[in-house]
Structure 1
Amino acid sequence: MRGSPFDLGNASAYRAWRDAKLAAYPRSADELVVPLADPRQLTAAETAALADRCGRANMAIYSAPHLPAADKSLASELARQLGLTRLEGNYLADEDGLSSITPAGDEGTVRGDYIPYTHKPINWHTDGYYNALDRRILGMTLHCAQDAEAGGENALLDHEIAYIQLRDTDPDYVAALMQPDAMTIPARMDENDIARPAQSGPVFAVDPDQGFLYMRYTARTRSIVWKDDALTQCAVKALTEILAGSPYILSARLRPGMGLVCNNVLHTRSAFSDSPGRRRLLYRGRYYDRLDFAARGRGRG
């Protein structure tokens, strides 16, 4: 990490990066929105606009309300053009690897036991926080096919901003959350005794090859074990307080034909209610890739 702003021993590199990051960071989710003529065929100008938003905040919101919102190719083809190709499949995903996030019914059903498939709120997290480190979720997409009758807003926060706020509070807190055993997700048991082994890892980490910062985090208090030392416990408390009131949190409600593309930023979802003719449905994609705007080369001039 020599010369990296994420090197805790390099105060000057950090300060220069920090000041530039905060100066450019959006103050409203409206600044993230990029209208697209057709997400399946990006123009060079549209790609540049998406790259600008993601350069500032590690995320962008696209809008194409004039196209059929339920068309899953809008999300999958957009992702492909932005370098998101290694889609994580899971047993709750659809056959194409995207997950249809919609209320599944009563608890006790396969999906109904998982909060994303209910009307309940979801607290701060990054996607795939329980994955092994060789299956890191680096990119994520959400495409809105139908919004809820009421509620279902997302709060969004660039994980680099959370890092800045925590490091400004106390650099030792960042060091604590970079420990390889800072956060452990216990094994998940099923009828065959184990469905997923326990997974330990850092909260903040820097990719050794490309130097980017990524985050693995959940604010849930059940089924999570934090390292039992005073510094880590103080760091977790400080991060919780940051997420409870950061002035950099952006609030967005995705409407049909809108979507989020991001480098797996921190996000939440508020509780929501549906009506018989308006049932919330989002298509979620989780990728082992980060956004790569140089991968475009396939746009329409």
Structure 2
Amino acid sequence: MVEKVITLDNVSLIDFLGVENNNIKQIAAAFPMSKIISRGNEIRIKGTTPEISRISDILESLLQHYQTYGKLTHEHVKTYLNGNPEANRLAADVSDEDVLVYGTKGIVVRARTANQKKLVEAAEKADLVFAIGPAGTGKTYTAVAIAVRALKNKEVRKIIITRPAVEAGENLGFLPGDLKEKIDPYLRPIYDALDDMIPAEKLKLYLENRTIEIAPLAYMRGRTLNNAFILLDEAQNTTPMQMKMFLTRMGPNSKAIITGDRSQIDLPNKQKSGLIESVNVLKNIKGISFVELDGRDVVRHRLVKDIIKAYEDAGQ
């Protein structure tokens, strides 16, 4: 008998191996003449050379399936063991072309409204896109999904996501911790979106090696961002100078999406918003797209649409 060790890198072990290693046990049951043991992030296979080769091929196919679709079920394993992976390509009720990302724990991320689809189409055609609309319309979530898709498809080498750290009626100085701990709450929606789309171990690696970078807008000054997908979120809280600084960071082979909400400007002393100014200044430049989202695109609780409309009717 010979032995082979397969190391599982950047994989959520419980999602890939299954609860109580049931996915691996299922494979082991199909090859009773071999011994398959899972310990930590290693799978050890002992058996004859032909069987080890067959088991390795199945595990490699399962890894590719998991990396593509973000999940691995008993039925998926059964299908690959039967040698017919095409029969079980998706466990979702949408077509491949609608899907932006197959996320973690079976989440299928796609544009869900007409204007979200316009945002996806705009990002495919233009290198710079403005997505403007009220809270709950999926601006940030859709933009993050577009960027993650580009990274997975190797269209870019990194993702850079930034926000202006503007205090919305709160004071950063009174928050506990160092600068990172003070700022991280402002970036939490970004982390939440990424958690839905990238397995935890892989996301941790991406953040550690700066394949994905999340930082306050001030940290962008002086940089040239090449081969990157850049997202500026909450852009209504940029000053005109900050917006100009951000827009001039784009380097070769880069794309950018800027999201913002005209109704939630938190700048002090009624300072002019860089988002509003940039829309007026750049509206006639070829290669820049503008997508407007509205109450029809709200994908949060049903009451959010009514709340937004009530504030609009009240002129606020």
Decide: shared fold, TM above 0.5.
Answer: no
Provide the TM-score with structure 1 as the length reference: 0.25
Provide the TM-score with structure 2 as the length reference: 0.25
| Larger proportion of helix | 2
Relative contact order, higher structure (CA 8 A, sep 6+): 1
